Structure 1
């Protein structure tokens, strides 16, 4: 029941945000912008968005490999796309990350390992946003004319980067002590696994470098998608400034308050692109197409689910035992 209430609340928030955004713009102007799309550039935007999917699967597979799990690339890619389906298309009570944990755990690697790898994969994306935001502050702050917004964003980025520097080295130590002291250790086992696997984010040499490069390429894919969508409507944006603005937008989109980010994304894009002198109607049109391209990726995830041997009904069940923590021989 709590899951259904959460989903219902998200739907209400999504509809409310969309209604608020559309009350601020000329809807006919938005439709006019959408009608101006250049088909070639539109297809290029779709390809730029899709380029991140195999990179994301490779990054997740690397995290698993460092924990001793040799997951085939086909499975990693299939599970990632199925997770995207649940994130973008299905207003379910289980998110895409939860689906990835379930699908990877059923292969026999254990619930803790599966949770830890997905958690670290998600953390890799968020940490890279914070890390890249620091050197881009000199690009970002001059274009934000509101002093309060400029100061708040600067403080947020610096505090986030500082938190990354503190959390990464301390997480394994803190979780290890908690597990040693608390009697119900099984509950903390997935968190301990995630803390242990997090070392790949900062002290695994060439592996960390490759992992970071994958995260940068995924972020570049998002920026390239938005840039191409804007260009297809005749809106020319400076790529570096756009990159600097998209980073905080993506960080805030990680907050799960709406269905697939709809409504929240449009509000954020109106604000962000406004700093680049893009009128609100064009900003909403760009955001809607960005959401549409991402939704297309979710539909591709549906194909992956059809090709996978998973019974979709099992992903919606709220009863039954979780995958075992015992690990198979690797």
Structure 2
């Protein structure tokens, strides 16, 4: 067996092992959370069933589906900063394929890697494709803390909820500091000089990130547009979470959702579980419990959000199966 084949098999085995461990973490966390739910809470969960909940559920589903288009528009804006133009429907197809891989094939290459690979084939510019996904992700990590901080400032009483408030502040504060540090380092002129004319795939990718961030710094209008789309995208997910909450009987004010839903979105991406299962539900119990939400309602909301994401991700199955056709040339952005 060739060395490359051995390394490939080792890589696949490692991926399968990591997936099994993450599944075990999800199962363990959910088991602990559910074991602590009183039986009366479970029986009361659907006792006051209202047909209007179906409307809330469909609204949450529609908003989650709509957010995928906003994500594609955000990605398109990043590519424009990198000097590339790709049609929105192409990016939408790629994004849906990435969601499908992330949610249904977690042991494979990963949704973001799939997006980079297929966009690289479309643009003939792998460094720019890599940089576009990195900058797009950084935008999300920048906006989520902003939303939580806004919710806490508008409703200061949410700062007095003990562990819920302090955990949210730690999450968003740490995230914001890390994003700003990465942006500063990647965009700094000294880094640009070191990467200028660099060889090697990794250095070219980092150079593309530097160029993209530098463009956004020098073109405030493009930066404002990118952040604006990012805010629209994340706010849509927050509203979708609130609608899903109504579907399970949770009725909170808008500032509570604005403060804590982004913190949940941050927490659930930690690569310790599958699809955020267990982590998302635990975060909802922590953040919403002090607001009068029962453990059963919080866990049900987390599982419902996961189910909605799975359903929306199914739309990416055809895009994943067919691949991304390299049928249209990509032009320089105007």
1:181-330 maps to which residues of 2 (within 5 A)?
185-199=200-214, 203-306=218-321, 308=323, 330=332
Q: Matches of 2:316 and 2:46 in 1, distance apart?
A: 25
Q: CA RMSD in A?
A: 2.8
Q: Matches of 1:72 and 1:306 in 2, distance apart?
A: 20
SS at match of 1:94: coil
Alignment counterpart, residue 25 of structure 1, candidates 37, 40, 44: 37
* Farther off after superposition, 48-57 or 126-135: 126-135
Asked if the contact 1:30–1:281 (Cα under 8 Å) also holds between the matched residues in 2, the reply is: yes
Question: Shift of residue 153 of structure 1?
Answer: 4.1
Q: Matches of 2:266 and 2:67 in 1, distance apart?
A: 17
Question: Shift of residue 62 of structure 1?
Answer: 1.3
Q: Matches of 1:232 and 1:149 in 2, distance apart?
A: 23
| Partner in structure 1 of residue 195 of structure 2 | 179
Asked if the contact 1:101–1:118 (Cα under 8 Å) also holds between the matched residues in 2, the reply is: yes
Question: Shift of residue 237 of structure 1?
Answer: 1.0
Question: Shift of residue 126 of structure 1?
Answer: 0.6
Question: Shift of residue 275 of structure 1?
Answer: 2.5
Question: Shift of residue 290 of structure 1?
Answer: 1.0
Structure 2: where are the runs of 5+ without partners?
1-12
Question: Shift of residue 199 of structure 1?
Answer: 3.8
Question: Shift of residue 188 of structure 1?
Answer: 2.1
Alignment counterpart, residue 40 of structure 1, candidates 45, 50, 55: 55
* Deviations 1:36-76 (CA, angstroms, capped at 9, x unpaired): 36222211111111110111001101111221211111210
Change (3 A) 1:15 1:27: farther
Q: Matches of 1:54 and 1:34 in 2, distance apart?
A: 33
Number of matched pairs: 313
Structure 1: where are the runs of 5+ without partners?
311-326
**TM-score normalised by the chain length of structure 1:** 0.84
Change (3 A) 1:153 1:231: closer
Asked if the contact 1:143–1:275 (Cα under 8 Å) also holds between the matched residues in 2, the reply is: no
* Deviations 1:265-299 (CA, angstroms, capped at 9, x unpaired): 11111111113210111111111111111111111
| Partner in structure 1 of residue 3 of structure 2 | none
| Partner in structure 2 of residue 100 of structure 1 | 115
| Partner in structure 2 of residue 61 of structure 1 | 76
Asked if the contact 2:22–2:274 (Cα under 8 Å) also holds between the matched residues in 1, the reply is: yes
Change (3 A) 1:21 1:178: farther
Asked if the contact 1:134–1:161 (Cα under 8 Å) also holds between the matched residues in 2, the reply is: no
Q: Matches of 1:306 and 1:224 in 2, distance apart?
A: 31
